[in-house]
Structure 1
Amino acid sequence: MTLWADALVSRAMVDWDNLRIFLTAVRAGNYTAAARRLRIDRTTVGRRLERLEHQLGVSVFEQGEDGYHPTPAGKRTLEVADEIARLMEGLVAELRGMPQAAGRQVRLAVAAELGFELMPDLAAFSESHPHIDLVIQSAADPADNVLRRRSDIGLSLGTRQPDHLRARRLGRLRQAGYAARDYLALRGEGLAPQDYEWVRFSGWSQAQALRPWDDIFCNDVRVAAYVDSWQAMRQAVDCAMGAAFIWTFVPERCPHLVEVAPVDPALGIDLWIIARDDVPVDAPAKELVDFLAARLQPIFGDAPALTPSAGFR
């Protein structure tokens, strides 16, 4: 055991329930949400955390500009509490003859431009991990969801690692122009890109990552429709309304899409798995991280192979 864990053990007055409430309060983001998860009063949460600080002899929270955060001592206490919780989960699973404790929930925020396309991968995770309840959240900014503790893990798009978060890069995503075979049967194949009608995006507050590809269009391009969501754009292409810029991995799964405008090698955006850097990632979330890394990294291909839960321990 670590010196800190030894110190906790040596204090006979330290109550595991207080540690458990502290761990839940940090993961939930506030006392009210923690009380709801624990099914106790909010005042009880506050009282038990005060008792924990008294037992430890240190403060576990400090106030910053954007609210309360664990102190350095609080962060270390979190690590020990998380380890104890995982040991207890492992014990229960072993005694029940199960690989994992049932009914654990993981909240995943997925960039709004990706969720529709990655749903088969998330469905595969749910099928192979029936003991984990996956909550999928479509988000304009997954990093914000994770920072605000609305989500445990995020799949985020960006040109650099999100600030104040642990992150692992899966690879670089690119787009090319694609149209459905039914559309090309009407308009003709092999035409210049400007000879097709295009479905363009208008909901920039929800999908900032798509702007660089939209900037390729000249002012006199023929527009079949403007849409404000990735799903609407994909459905418009599938229904033969026109062509659109789509992630290059999508046609590998949707063979009815045909390239009508090439990839611009200067354009691309990185895909990141992200988590908070001040809260331990629990066992179910680590399982999700490992699964996504193993499943998605080969698709995007230009990032180094990831070790299991690298950067998320």
Structure 2
Amino acid sequence: MIEWDNLRFFLTTVRAGNYTAAAKRLRVDRTTVGRRLERLEHQAGIPLFEQGEDGYHPTSAGHQVLTIADKIEALVTELEAVLSANADAEQVELRVAVAAELGSEFLQDLTDFSRLHPHIRLRISTSHEPEDDVVTRKCEVGLCLVDPLPRHLRGIRIATLRQAGYASTTYLDHKGRALAPQEYDWVRCTSSSRVRAMKQWDDIFCRTIRVSAYVDNWSALRGSAEQGLGAAFLWTFVADSEPRLNRVTPLHEELGVGLHLVVRDDVPMDQATRQFMNDMAKRLPVRVGNT
């Protein structure tokens, strides 16, 4: 008979990526993890892991076991919630990597999630390549700007984010309105910046504009435009809702990029990850104003 506790060890090991990381999450030693998985394979009568170039991965049978174990876990979690409705839930940690190009624009949504789910402690990091952080298991969830989704990832497409040029009311009162884009002073991303999505406009117009300042991150780009240092190419979902900013260029449809919530495609989501994905899939389209 297959024991649920051994399946739980199997799920945790696949999610963690190796025995050592799984042991840390399960608060046991590495030997215990290995012994539990050996017992599960003996009970199943077939190998559940195989070694590849980058470590151990579930076999075909292992993937079938994972699918069923994931469903069992969801039911067990639901049962535990019912039985302990009046008790404090054990706190778990969820690591989330947010694309650097987004700055802190979704911090309020993450804060609202934390207040609604106090048992889930978020560890939020800003990353130039959040999709790679998910693949390499540095985090469980990535909020990414990618098209199309890279290999080894699955997720939810939230929206297509677009860009346009904006300047503050103060700047336009001084410089003039309804001018050609080349007549304004612009704040640009530095050539060495890794803020990829925010540099697309630079690649088109960089030879025809005057530059008042260079910055290397989204917050500085937005702040410079708001303070009147010059015009800047910003996310429309942010700048259109800022009363101090005015659009000074047409919307460039070709510069759109997909906003995705992603996880590894070979790792079943645990309850915390599932709650986060479901919650953010509802919140973020409202935040950005399109789907």
TM-score norm. by structure 2 comes to 0.90
- Residue equivalent to 1:22: 10
1:201 corresponds to: 189
Q: Using the alignment, how far apart are the partners of 2:200 and 2:90 within structure 1? A: 44
Residue in 2 aligned with 1:276?
264
Identity %: 52
- The 3 A distance-change label for structure 1 pair 191 and 98 is farther
Q: Deviations 1:212-270 (Å, cap 9, x if unpaired)?
A: 21112242522122222212222222332222111000024422121122211222111
Is 1:245 aligned with 2:233? Answer: yes
Q: Is the 8 A contact 2:101 2:196 kept in 1?
A: no
Matched, 1:64 2:59: no
- Contact preservation (8 Å) 2:237, 2:289: no
- Rounded to whole Å, the distance in 2 between the matches of 1:60 and 1:100 is 35
Distance 2:114 2:74 in 1: 21
Counterpart contact for 2:164–2:250, Cα < 8 Å = yes
SS of 1:216 mapped into structure 2: helix
TM superposition shift of 1:176: 0.5
In the alignment, what sits opposite 1:6?
none
Q: Matches of 2:30 and 2:90 in 1, distance apart?
A: 26
Aligned match of 2:40:
52
Verify: 1:35 aligned to 2:23, yes or no.
yes
Would you say 1:173 and 2:161 are equivalent positions?
Answer: yes
Q: Which of residues 143, 163, 178 is equivalent to 2:131? A: 143
| Match in the other structure for 2:141 | 153
The answer (yes or no) to whether the contact 2:190–2:214 under 8 Å persists in 1 is yes
- Of 90, 96, 104 in structure 2, the residue corresponding to residue 108 of structure 1 is 96
Deviation digits for residues 190-213 of structure 1 (CA, Å, limit 9, x no counterpart): 332222221111266632223321
C-alpha distance 253-286 of structure 1, shift in aligned 2 (>3 A): farther
**Alpha-carbon distance in 2 for matches of 1:16, 1:22:** 10
Q: Please give the secondary structure, in 1, of the residue aligned with 2:230.
A: coil
RMSD over equivalenced CA pairs, Å? 2.3
CA distance in 2, matches of 1:190, 1:129: 48
The answer for the alignment partner of 1:213 in structure 2 is: 201
Alpha carbons of structure 1 residues 35 and 162: separation in structure 2 relative to 1, 3 Å: same
Instruction: Give me the whole-angstrom Cα distance separating, in 1, the residues matched to 2:237 and 2:24.
Output: 41
Aligned to 1:285: 273
**How far apart, in 1, do the equivalents of 2:98 and 2:117 lie?**
19
The structure-2 alpha-carbon separation of the partners of 1:300 and 1:77, relative to structure 1 and needing over 3 Å to count, comes to same
Pick closer, same or farther for the CA change 1:133–1:203 going to 2, 3 Å: farther
Out of 55-64 and 181-190, give the one that drifted further. Answer: 181-190
What corresponds to 1:123 in structure 2?
111
The residue type equivalent to 2:122 in the other structure is L
Counterpart amino acid of 2:46?
V
Of the three residues 205, 215, 220, the one matched with 1:227 is 215
Is the 2:159–2:258 Cα contact (8 Å) retained in structure 1?
yes
Amino acid at match of 1:270: G
Per-residue deviation, 1:173: 0.9
AA of the residue aligned to 2:227:
C
TM-score by length of 1: 0.84
Match of 2:65 in 1: 77
SS in structure 2 at match of 1:59: coil
How many corresponding residue pairs? 291
Write out per-residue CA displacement over residues 111-137 of structure 1, whole angstroms, 9 at most, x where no aligned residue.
Answer: 111142122222222223323222222
- Following superposition, the deviation at residue 271 of structure 1 comes to 1.3
C-alpha distance in 2 between matches for 1:94 and 1:296:
29
Tell me the residue number matched to 1:89: 77
Letter in 2 for 1:258: N
Is residue 2:171 matched to residue 1:183? yes
Q: Contact conserved, 1:32 with 1:42, CA < 8 A, in 2?
A: yes
**8 Å Cα contact 1:167-1:272 kept in structure 2:** yes
Deviation of 1:301 after TM superposition, in Å, equals 5.4
CA contact (8 A) 1:199 1:223 kept: yes
Q: For residues 136 and 210 of structure 1, do their structure 2 counterparts lie closer, same or farther at Cα, with a shift above 3 Å needed?
A: same
Question: Hey, what's the Cα distance between the residues in 2 that align with 1:203 and 1:69?
Answer: 40
Where in structure 2 are the equivalents of 1:293-312 lying within 5 Å? 293-300=281-288, 303=291
